[in-house]
Structure 1
């Protein structure tokens, strides 16, 4: 569509820009940011946004009558339900309709089955585990507009009059939406299929019927995001299939739910996130359209929705997934989301006899290749960028970084032994999505670690992975040399340029602090700031300044200068331009050397002309940190430690910050809505630039072993180029990289 408008006369384009600016804008962003964004739009985007605002106005003036109890006789409703019962097994995921599923679940995953039933019982009792929160109560009957964490309730006005980011008025919309995704409906359906207990069906369908009655079409917070409508209709599709044989699914209720699915899909199609959030919002909405068209093919718009959803998924994936398999938002959580979306789409295509582009199959596998490369030695994806705590459809209880379900499903789908190795066994998701045949395909594989080298560069995404192998007790470091989030806004990216995360003996020592929440401005700002990451800060400034909760005032760039990987060492050299905005522009360059399998050395050069404050920050996870003599520090997890020893061209002041509120420092968030104090070491100096710091990171097993001897290695002009470890030089000059001596013996691994 863009090509039709690009050559429009300037007067026409200016008129359209004024029209777009005149439409009501949700969120109340400062006018200068709206004007700046408007200048970036081409005429196609302006026209699209204008049409969408006009549609919102029309919907307010002439509200839809859908989602009321559908017209038709009881006989019509009964016939529709009978037709659905007959057709569902051929259109839907095999495990939901195969009679062998309950027995196979009980024998292959007994613990997961017990967890499933316990969670379903909590939902029946009105207690919901959502995101990082447990046992939330929304009242009896449920108040579908309530955020029980803040106690705030969204008013039941037209959805376009609500700003989901206005936490002072509405509370945290994420919490409200998580309940209203109705993913608990799937858990109750799984419990019903597993046990045959009608109480699960009765509770689930009573909740849905109450929701339909309490949520008028187009009104309230639950209509304010097309993604949320898409996820809800997906859950309804699962619910209809899982409860299709239950007496609790009365023909009249079935017809009402089917009409609501049709209404949701129509809303999603009208308000696609083509311009607002063309990321997982758009792909999730596309999947919702495809679900509606594939699962209920008799709907008048079913074919159009299937084709529209498939087309968006193909186009968006080609744009969002980089050639090396990294998702463009620089977020492992949203990368996993995208893998889930594509797996559901591809499996539904196979079940419905529809062809899917081979490029999508390849991209799914490339995305998992990246997740396996950065995966921690103990099996979890590291937190990189934002993580909102959600899943496309939680078919088993999973921690935020748990990749076993997606890896197991992809292993069975593509016959990949390395994915099976990462799954660690037959995950329940395999059975629900692929049925007994998928389980058999998985169990026929011989799991094996990836054939790719453990240390790898992902050049398009900007990640360097250094690891000594694939063992559970291995050493592993991820070096971020990529951009700040996606090109549009960087909204889910963090100000983490040149940061590192580090595992020693399989334990997470240096971590990304996580996300915390989207709803509290102070915590939102902290968790995505440079202060929450293991990198260098200058003058107390984050590498980027927020322009709202999901945008940045500027998008600094990082550049990889060199990458070398051999059997004995890995070396990466990178810099970034984030601090060029300072009155005295500053450049940060970081070099990282891994002498396998013993230790890492970091060399940070901070270049400028004036006097600046420089903070070398290390954010730790749930470990104990103690400062030693000089600038030594020891982080301990059980009997295993990581030694930290920086040496600078000027004196350094060392401090441990943990759980500080003024300023916020020393916090981590394991899941959305959670935060825990965790130690951060800050090495500070205020001095004229240039300034260099060389840092040893050494895993050690023996906590009583003496500290190794460490001295700086410098050029004749005094600039640091490495260090001397137990008498052996370790050089990080790009022209002369290496460690000449034998592996150190000072209590090292």
Structure 2
């Protein structure tokens, strides 16, 4: 498999063309300034707000304790995204992990919540003393800086305010460092990326400005609040879904906005209440019966904990459902049945970095067992696994001539994008009908167009019909990826039976399609690669119809 790279001017043009002028300006500006060194604050101009009560914010942070193990961290062993490294305690902040996301997570400091005050204090002092600014240090990029100052502020001011109030020397050092970092962040907001990065930047300014007192803190709060209000209007769709259309990042943004609201006084965060309510409803719709998220676009399990309130309130209403602005449609049964289809845009046109070639793909859970799955995402490093997980081949949709629906290249780049066309959705009493078209393959000489029609009604099979029309003959493959726990029981020329625990799934297809089983991987969590099977249905021609059905029964 060859990894696409920026090899021609057309790819560069298609990648840059949808960007906003503000992104281009700030990207050039940052490159010219080389991320100017932050001004070190020598006198503390801010102080922690130790008079307010942040009980709700403290409770919100409780789930973070479950993600990390205090005993192993104290032994100097840190584990992020399923990669364990022995870096000492306090850690070697310049540990040369080959994985940038691992280095990022070390600098997020979200692992502080499993430590006591003295242990956390020791780590923060070590970072301040040893991790001075260097533009080549990942931890000083704006994104990890945002998460770090939120972690420090919430941990010490909200969670351990009594200890901090009795520790004036450390309180002064902490305040100086947070002021230095936040002032630097304020001057280096990620307008070159926008999307979830800018929302995190704004939330960091707002939270730090709310949990500290002083002129600088008031300015951060005003700036963060202004940006946050602007970005919420754009990034949170009318149906409540985050506009990058990744359930994982939606969950992250929900947590971030909840933190922002709980940092504010009761009369200041009223505008966030309806936003959070709609986001929680959207989150429930993209959760399987096992209560975890669907793996659409860049999504992984176990990265962000579900808010405690979401855990307590997960009681979705059975029946068909839709998130029309996000382009997600499906059905939920009362006995552990769940179907989700993606017929939406790949993401915001000016930043589709977390998008996959999954248009018209879907996932199915039956009797509480995941049966048809999305491949998920293995990592964020440029390489074969990153390219594969983003590719159309890794999803439950149609691939034409071994090409992708969009021109994915690099780690987060997309050249030519696509949009769904003629999307029609109709709810039925016990099912739904969905049909849509995309022209992603028209950029190739064969100029193929793919249309998918989906029908489901309780008691009947899930029926999927694909039409591929092209000006020249094409090789079209419609794939179905099965959960690793699914075992293939029997396969004939037109039928396959698989079983997962006590659930059987019988897949039947048309006479014109040739069928084969392929080996692939399921990546539900970062750096996790589980072997699974894929049914590939193939036809060759100019006017193709690939039809199949999935019937689920108790084995």
Q: Structure 2 length as normaliser, TM-score?
A: 0.90
Do the aligned residues in 2 keep the contact of 1:481 with 1:559 (CA within 8 Å)?
no
Note if 1:421 corresponds to 2:306: no
**Match of 1:291, SS?**
helix
Other-structure match for 2:535? 681
Q: What are structure 1's unaligned runs of at least 5 residues? A: 1-27, 106-111, 149-170, 189-199, 390-398, 409-419, 423-447, 659-665, 703-749
Other-structure match for 2:109? 182
Note if 1:92 corresponds to 2:54: yes
State which of 212, 229, 232 in structure 1 corresponds to 2:148.
232
RMSD: 3.0
Other-structure match for 2:495? 632
**Match of 2:409, SS?**
coil
Return the alpha-carbon distance in structure 1 between the equivalents of residues 404 and 26 of structure 2.
35
The C-alpha deviation readout for 1:423-463, integer Å capped at 9, x for no partner, is xxxxxxxxxxxxxxxxxxxxxxxxx544xx63123222111
State which of 206, 213, 224 in structure 1 corresponds to 2:122.
206
Return the alpha-carbon distance in structure 2 between the equivalents of residues 633 and 117 of structure 1.
39
Other-structure match for 1:645? 508
Note if 1:136 corresponds to 2:85: yes
Do the aligned residues in 2 keep the contact of 1:579 with 1:587 (CA within 8 Å)?
yes
Note if 1:552 corresponds to 2:414: yes
Return the alpha-carbon distance in structure 2 between the equivalents of residues 645 and 307 of structure 1.
59
Return the alpha-carbon distance in structure 2 between the equivalents of residues 292 and 247 of structure 1.
16
Other-structure match for 1:266? 183
Map 1:343-742 → 2, pairs under 5 A: 343-349=258-264, 352-356=265-269, 358=271, 360-387=272-299, 399-400=302-303, 403=306, 405=308, 407-408=310-311, 420-422=312-314, 449-450=316-317, 454-467=319-332, 469=333, 471=334, 473-626=335-488, 627-648=490-511, 650-652=512-514, 654-658=515-519, 666-685=520-539, 687-702=540-555
State which of 60, 70, 85 in structure 2 corresponds to 1:120.
70
Other-structure match for 1:66? 40
Higher relative contact order (CA 8 A, sep 6+): 2
Q: Report the Cα offset of residue 204 of structure 1.
A: 2.0
Return the alpha-carbon distance in structure 1 between the equivalents of residues 254 and 68 of structure 2.
28
Return the alpha-carbon distance in structure 1 between the equivalents of residues 435 and 351 of structure 2.
26
Do the aligned residues in 2 keep the contact of 1:588 with 1:606 (CA within 8 Å)?
yes
Return the alpha-carbon distance in structure 2 between the equivalents of residues 599 and 335 of structure 1.
31
Q: 1:632 to 1:364 in 2, by over 3 A?
A: same
Return the alpha-carbon distance in structure 1 between the equivalents of residues 107 and 434 of structure 2.
46
Larger displacement relative to structure 2 (547-556 or 313-322): 547-556
The C-alpha deviation readout for 1:235-272, integer Å capped at 9, x for no partner, is 11133233444499843322111111111111111111
**Match of 1:512, SS?**
coil
Larger proportion of strand? 2
Q: Structure 1 length as normaliser, TM-score?
A: 0.68
Return the alpha-carbon distance in structure 1 between the equivalents of residues 404 and 43 of structure 2.
58
The C-alpha deviation readout for 1:685-741, integer Å capped at 9, x for no partner, is 3x2221112211110113xxxxxxxxxxxxxxxxxxxxxxxxxxxxxxxxxxxxxxx
Return the alpha-carbon distance in structure 1 between the equivalents of residues 353 and 534 of structure 2.
25
Return the alpha-carbon distance in structure 2 between the equivalents of residues 38 and 559 of structure 1.
23
Note if 1:302 corresponds to 2:252: no
Return the alpha-carbon distance in structure 1 between the equivalents of residues 523 and 319 of structure 2.
28
Q: 1:511 to 1:357 in 2, by over 3 A?
A: same
Q: Report the Cα offset of residue 212 of structure 1.
A: 1.2
Q: 1:347 to 1:403 in 2, by over 3 A?
A: same
Return the alpha-carbon distance in structure 2 between the equivalents of residues 579 and 185 of structure 1.
48
The C-alpha deviation readout for 1:511-538, integer Å capped at 9, x for no partner, is 1111100114211110011111111111
Q: Report the Cα offset of residue 49 of structure 1.
A: 4.5
Structure with bigger gyration radius? 1
Q: Report the Cα offset of residue 554 of structure 1.
A: 0.9
Q: Report the Cα offset of residue 595 of structure 1.
A: 1.8
Return the alpha-carbon distance in structure 1 between the equivalents of residues 118 and 165 of structure 2.
5
Do the aligned residues in 2 keep the contact of 1:329 with 1:490 (CA within 8 Å)?
yes
Map 1:235-250 → 2, pairs under 5 A: 235-241=151-157, 242-246=159-163, 250=167
Do the aligned residues in 1 keep the contact of 2:452 with 2:465 (CA within 8 Å)?
yes
Q: What are structure 2's unaligned runs of at least 5 residues? A: none
Larger displacement relative to structure 2 (115-124 or 340-349): 115-124
Q: Report the Cα offset of residue 507 of structure 1.
A: 1.2
Return the alpha-carbon distance in structure 2 between the equivalents of residues 49 and 449 of structure 1.
43
Do the aligned residues in 2 keep the contact of 1:286 with 1:310 (CA within 8 Å)?
yes
Q: 1:43 to 1:120 in 2, by over 3 A?
A: closer
**Match of 1:689, SS?**
strand
Q: Report the Cα offset of residue 485 of structure 1.
A: 2.0
State which of 56, 74, 97 in structure 1 corresponds to 2:34.
56
Return the alpha-carbon distance in structure 1 between the equivalents of residues 16 and 464 of structure 2.
42
State which of 167, 171, 178 in structure 2 corresponds to 1:254.
171
Other-structure match for 1:425? none
Q: Report the Cα offset of residue 142 of structure 1.
A: 2.3
Q: 1:41 to 1:459 in 2, by over 3 A?
A: closer
Do the aligned residues in 2 keep the contact of 1:562 with 1:574 (CA within 8 Å)?
yes
Q: 1:488 to 1:406 in 2, by over 3 A?
A: farther
Return the alpha-carbon distance in structure 2 between the equivalents of residues 303 and 503 of structure 1.
49
Do the aligned residues in 1 keep the contact of 2:284 with 2:316 (CA within 8 Å)?
no
Q: 1:220 to 1:256 in 2, by over 3 A?
A: farther
**Match of 2:189, SS?**
coil
Size of the aligned set, in residue pairs, is 548
Do the aligned residues in 2 keep the contact of 1:623 with 1:635 (CA within 8 Å)?
no
The C-alpha deviation readout for 1:489-523, integer Å capped at 9, x for no partner, is 31111101111111111211111111100114211
**Match of 2:413, SS?**
coil
Q: 1:30 to 1:251 in 2, by over 3 A?
A: farther
Q: 1:616 to 1:309 in 2, by over 3 A?
A: same
Q: 1:512 to 1:178 in 2, by over 3 A?
A: same
Do the aligned residues in 2 keep the contact of 1:91 with 1:294 (CA within 8 Å)?
no
